[in-house]
Amino acid sequence: MRKYVIMGVQGSGKGTQAKLLADDLDIIHISVGDIFRWHVQQHTKVGAQVRRTMAEGSLVGDELVESLVRDRLDIHDWNYGFVIDGFPRNARQAEFFLETYDIDGVIVLELPDEEVHNRVLARRLCAECGLDYNLIASNPEQPDVCDACGGRLVTREDDTPEALAARLADYHAKTRPIVELFERKEFVVHIDATHSIDDVQAEIREQLGLPPYQEARS
């Protein structure tokens, strides 16, 4: 069983890299962002709270995030392990995580703030099927139209310069101390996330001692 935490500022590619690992290793990808989006799309009470918070440009509270992650992990559908992104978000949650789960590695994706702005403000989301696009790397065949379902591509409610500035400040203030805590107790690898998706994945695998990326795909 393998259990990993993947960390990094928004736009660093956590979800993409976590999915590549999960698909190949037959482990579960647990994404806090995906959990939020599901609740918003299903119009749950949690979804209404998340949407309201995002519209204000604020950050979803740590207690709600912790509750959702606990509920997700309690499903126990991760027989072969998991890779989680978007959690933990503070030192207390990190301590709980370390006490509860035997983590095999913590992946920290490093990305300069300037590149974060470039990537995040170029993101689009299909209003119908939820497919993600980044206009820097993956333009749709028709402008503002989803290739998969023909739905309209929109900017995420929280992808504004003001909201991004708040998230960056929160990340640097709260997440860096978590990385330092993990470094004292767990195996942490720092990855340069400015490179291509394939190169980042290859570096993650090399540092974690996993099969090479190209070999795993063949």
Q: Clarify whether 14 is annotated catalytic.
A: yes
Q: Clarify whether 156 is annotated catalytic.
A: yes
- Report strand pairing: 81-85 vs 28-31: parallel
The SS3 of residue 99 is helix
Active-site pick, 19, 51, 123, 174:
123
Active-site pick, 3, 89, 124, 205:
89
Closest CA to 149 of 136, 132, 166, 131: 131
Active-site pick, 2, 119, 124, 167:
167
Q: Clarify whether 217 is annotated catalytic.
A: no
Rounded to whole angstroms, how far apart are CA atoms 163 and 85?
Answer: 20
Active-site pick, 14, 72, 119, 124:
14
Q: Clarify whether 52 is annotated catalytic.
A: no
Q: Clarify whether 89 is annotated catalytic.
A: yes
Active-site pick, 19, 37, 51, 156:
156
Beta partners for residue 123, in sequence order = 134
Helix ranges (H only) for 56-132 are 62-73, 91-100, 113-120
Catalytic residues: 14, 89, 123, 156, 167
